Amino acid sequence: MNAGKANTTESVHGEIERRAYALWEQAGRPHGRAEEHWAQAEAEILEPKKTPSKGKSEAAPARGHKPKKKK
């Protein structure tokens, strides 16, 4: 196995683990919700790293911003 890939995988796993633990603590340390916290942490950590699909603009205008009309 590629050592760089293994380190990255371990790093991401550790990041998800730490976030899931933080979510569990924020929720009051409830029993039986580990999978829920893990899934939420995984989504938070992994989703931003996905590349945008084709056809979507990366630089969307800010909310409430209207383009100026040309005169």
CA distances from 30 to 3, 21, 53 (A): 37, 11, 37
Mean pLDDT (whole number) for 8-15: 92
- Average predicted confidence (pLDDT) for the chain: 80
Q: Please, what is the Cα angle at 56 between 67 and 44, to 5 degrees?
A: 110
- Please indicate, yes or no, whether the overall pTM of this predicted structure exceeds 0.75: no
